[in-house]
Structure 1
Amino acid sequence: MRLALFDLDHTLIPLDSDHAWGQFTVAQGWRDAEAFGRANDAFYAQYKAGTLDIAEYIRFATEVIRELGPERAAAAHADFMREMVLPHIQPQALQLVRHHQAAGDTVVIVTATNEFVTRPIADAFGVAELIAIRLERDAAGNPTGEIAGTPSFREGKVVRVAEWLAERGLGWADVSHSTFYSDSINDLAMLEHVHAPVAANPDERLLVIAQARGWRILNLFHDQEIH
C-alpha cells in the first residue's frame, strides 16, 4: 500500500472548517455573537499555539449540533458547505488529490476536526477515507459532546492511522510509501512518522522545522488563507 495522507484545514482548504462552522452558527442567530466569537477565537488561538484541550473544545464545538438534532443539523451543514466551504475549494488542491489517486495511492484525509463538519468536505474532494474526530453518540444516535475513542489530534493521528490500517489487516510496516501533507506544528508527530513529510502552507513554527530538516515545502494558496 502507498498512502497519501492529508490534513484538511489550511492544508487542503484555505480556512479552518471548525472555526468557520462556529462563525456560521453565529450568523444564523443560534449563538450570541460576542460571547461565542470570543470563545471560538480563543480555542483557535490555542490550537495554533499547540495548547488546545481537545475534549473541552469538542464539547463547545458540538453544542449547536446537539441542540439542532440530526435532521436540522444536516440541513444547516448543507447551507454551510454551499456558502462557506465550496467557494474556497481551490483547483490546485483538487489537482493534488487527483494526482495521488491517479498514481494509485490510497488517499486519506486525517483531521482533528470532527466527523460531522468534515465528512461532506471529504466527499467534495472525492475522498472516501476520512479519519476525523469521532463523536460519541447516545442510543438515539445524537452526539453527547464527548469524543469516541482516540482523537485524531497531534500524536493521536498516528494512532488513528494505525487503527485504520489494522482494520484492513495491515500495519505501518505494510505501507511501502507514505506521504503526509500538513500546515500545522500540531501534526509534527505524523510528519515525522511518514516517508515523505510535506509542509503545506506551513505555520511559522512548522516552516522553521521543515527548512531545517530539508522537508518539501508547498504553498497551495499563495497567501489566500482565510481565518
Structure 2
Amino acid sequence: MDLALFDFDHTITDRDTFSAFLKANIPPRRLRWGGLLLAPLVFGYYRLKVVPAHVLRAAVVRVGLSGLERQAFAEAAERYARDTLPGFVRPQALERIRWHLQRGDTVVVVSASIDLYLRRWCRQHGVALICSQLGHRRGRFTGRYRGHDCCGEHKARRVLKRYRLADYGAVHAYGDSAEDHAMLALAHHRTYRWQPMAA
C-alpha cells in the first residue's frame, strides 16, 4: 500500500477555491472596503510577485472574516462543497484519486484551503484531509488561523506528524506551486502541474 498526497487548489481543481468561496460569502460591504484595504497586497502578489501567497491569505482572513458568525459560513461551505466544487474539479485529478483508491492506497488532500468546505468534499470521495483551519471563539471567527496556514514546510511537517512514511511501499505527491515543494520532496513519485518530476 502506498501513500498519495494531493494539493487541492490548481491541482485537483482548475482554480483557487478559497478566493471563490470567500468572494461568494463575505458580506458585500465588507468585500468592498476590504478590497480597498488589501489592494496593495493584492497588487504585490499578482503583479509584482513580491508578496507571498500565505501573507495575502492571512490578511484576507483577518480583514474578511474577523467577527463574522461561523455557523452561517459552515452552512454556506456545505452548499459550496455540494453544488460548486464539483464544477472546479479536474477529471484527470479525480481519475487519479480513484486509481489510488482502487489500489488500496491511502489518499490525503494536503491544502492551504480551509476545512469548512474541504471536509465535506474529502468525506464524499473517501480521502483523508490535512488543511488550514480558521480560528473561532464563541461562535465567531477570530480572523486568524488555528495553528499555521497549511502551506510550504507546514505541509510536509503535518504529513510527517500524521503518517509514518516507512509504513508505505512508496509515496506519491501531486502539486502545482512553490508551496508544494516541501511536500513533493517527501515523495518517491512526484507530479508537478500534472507532469512527472525527477525524484
1:86-127 superposed Cα distances (whole Å, 9 cap, x missing partner): 222243322211110010110000001122242233234332
Counterpart selection for 1:186 from 147, 160, 179: 179
- Name the amino acid aligned to 1:8: F
1:31 matched residue in structure 2: 30
SS of 2:182's partner is helix
What residue in structure 2 maps to residue 131 of structure 1?
A: 130
Give the direction of change, closer, same or farther, for the CA distance of 1:141–1:38 in structure 2 (3 Å limit).
closer
Q: Which amino acid is 1:145 matched to?
A: G
Q: 1:197 aligns with which of 174, 190, 194?
A: 190
5 Å matches for 1:82-101? 84-101=84-101
Label 1:99 to 1:144 Cα distance change in 2 as closer, same or farther (>3 A).
Answer: same
1:157–1:32 CA distance, 2 compared to 1 (3 A) = closer
CA distance in 2, matches of 1:99, 1:11: 16
Where do 5+ consecutive residues of structure 2 fail to align? none
Aligned CA RMSD, in angstroms, stands at: 3.2
Between stretches 177-186 and 51-60, larger displacement belongs to 51-60
- Given that residues 111 and 151 in structure 2 are in contact (C-alpha distance below 8 angstroms), is that contact kept between their aligned partners in structure 1? yes
Question: Under a length normalisation based on structure 1, what TM-score does the superposition of the two structures give?
Answer: 0.71
Unaligned ranges ≥5, structure 1? 166-170, 203-209, 216-227
User: Residues 138-190 of structure 1, C-alpha deviation per residue, up to 9 Å, x if partnerless?
Assistant: 3x35432222334321011110001112xxxxx23333210000011221121
Q: 1:56 to 1:184 in 2, by over 3 A?
A: closer
Count of residue correspondences: 197
3-state SS of the aligned residue for 1:14?
Answer: coil
The percentage of counterpart residues that share the same residue type is 27
Question: Residue 104 of structure 2 corresponds to which residue in structure 1?
Answer: 104
Q: Which residue of 2 aligns with 1:57?
A: 57
Which of 150, 159, 162 aligns to 2:160? It is 162
8 Å contact from structure 2 (residues 112, 149) kept in 1 = yes
Contact 2:80–2:117, Cα closer than 8 Å, also in 1:
no
